[in-house]
Amino acid sequence: MENEDEDRIRTWSNDSYRYPRQSSTRRYLVSALVGIVIVYLLFFVRLPFFVFMPGTAEEIKPMVTIPKASDEEKGTLMLTTVRVADANIVNYIVGMLHPYEEIQPKTSVLRKGESEQEYTQRQEYVMLTSQSSAIQAAYTHAKIPFHISHEGVMVLQTLPGLSGEKVLKPGDVLLKAGNKEVKVAQDLLDALKGKKAGESISITYARQKVEQTADLTLGALPKQEGEQGEPRAGIGVVPADMQSVKADQEDQQVSIKAGEIGGPSAGLMFSLEIFNQLVPEDITKGYRIAGTGTIETDGTVGPIGGIQHKIIAADRQKADFFFAPKDVTYPDGTKVLNYTDAVARANQIKSKMKVVEIGTMDDALKFLAALPPK
């Protein structure tokens, strides 16, 4: 009996010793799980907002290649970017408090029905068209003969519920519709003219330069505002013409590789860099010149967004001058104050950089021509 009592006491003592250890382990596990959930909520749950902040100021010369180019460039021409991040709880709070960051709802950036992937593709497309306009403007100012080559139609967006959504992706290039070669978007419309929903058509397209063919069934397209009668039949894509600018002389052909930079706002700076490589004199004269602005083929410079962030990016790279699009007032009274906003932000950060108001490529070239060599 005595031994049995000892055994019972010993067993009870061991159980009571182990119990707190199990309880403590359980608390640690619960705490760890709570911590993981909190981290997940703070950093990985995406909010319906974008955070805009200063990006980079990047030298353009390495992005532009011309076989017969002038190597003389003592200064630097730089494009400027805005960094855009998906908002989580942490960077949303930081963005609300930070004086140089900005929060915008995604609905103010994305078009109706547009996914973020389609938005990215649209930005890549407008960068390509911006580069095309920049090359044309530079060729025209440098008096270089050139011609335009049409190279197919890019898919920017697919419409939900139609056959294009199942087969095609943003970035695909349409090459043929039925037996008709597709060079411009009108060629696709012509190939579909007279066809009805339920009929099919063979579409040849290129994805990452690999050619493919698929049969797509036509569906009823959503009616556009003011459209009357039966809805048109289509495959459900938003098309965009692709073109390239070809110099008549091969050794003056421009090629641009801008990496992952998207959007149209580097047009002005690309045109200046291309021009500088085409002419014998160095227009930079040893200065560090940053800037922004869209460019038309005739050299007209247009307004852009996020210039207050680009000023900071340029200042960080110690630019001497910043080319900002001139303030614009549209017929409906809407104002885009690029130059005014750029000056205000430069003053706010106490930058030594001079902000220069630019309306055309000629304005920029005249300003540079008047500078003394550094």
Task: Measure the CA–CA gap between 46 and 37, rounded to whole angstroms.
Answer: 14
Position 60: which residue type? I
Residue 272 has pLDDT above 90, yes or no: yes
Burial class (CB in 10 A: 0-12, 13-18, 19+), 327: middle
Residue 125 has pLDDT above 60, yes or no: yes
- Mean of the per-residue pLDDT values for the chain? 90
Mean pLDDT of 127-152: 94
Cα separations in angstroms, 74 against 135, 173, 320, 325, 344: 22, 40, 14, 25, 30
Q: Assess contact for 58 and 78: CB atoms under 8 A.
A: yes
Q: Assess contact for 271 and 361: CB atoms under 8 A.
A: yes
Reading phi first (left if > 0) and then psi (alpha if -120 to 50, else beta), residue 72 is in: beta
Cα separations in angstroms, 306 against 33, 81, 339: 40, 9, 12
Question: What tokens does 36 get?
Answer: 């993981």
Q: What percent of the chain has pLDDT above 70? A: 93
Give strand pairing partners of 362.
none
Mutual angle of helices 361-370 and 116-142, in 10-degree steps: 60
Dihedral angle of Cα 197, 201, 206, 211, to the nearest 10 degrees: 150
Q: How would residue 112 be classed by pLDDT, with cut points 50, 70 and 90?
A: confident
What confidence tens digit (pLDDT) does each residue in 40-56 have? 777 888 899 999 999 99
Q: What pLDDT score does 357 carry?
A: 98
Going by C-alpha positions, the residue among 286, 291, 315, 316 that lies closest to residue 302 is 291
DSSP assignment of 291-348 equals: E--EE-TT-BEE--S-HHHHHHHHHHTT-SEEEEEPPEE-TTS-EE-HHHHHHHHHHH
Q: What pLDDT score does 40 carry?
A: 75
Going by C-alpha positions, the residue among 289, 348, 291, 338 that lies closest to residue 318 is 289
What confidence tens digit (pLDDT) does each residue in 231-260 have? 889 999 999 999 999 999 999 999 999 988
Of 236 and 10, the one with more pLDDT:
236
Task: Measure the CA–CA gap between 114 and 345, rounded to whole angstroms.
Answer: 32
Position 285: which residue type? K
Catalytic residues: 265, 310
Q: What pLDDT score does 226 carry?
A: 65
Of 315 and 151, the one with more pLDDT:
315
What confidence tens digit (pLDDT) does each residue in 158-172 have? 999 999 999 999 999
Residue 349 has pLDDT above 60, yes or no: yes
What confidence tens digit (pLDDT) does each residue in 82-99 have? 999 999 999 899 989 999
Q: Assess contact for 322 and 314: CB atoms under 8 A.
A: yes
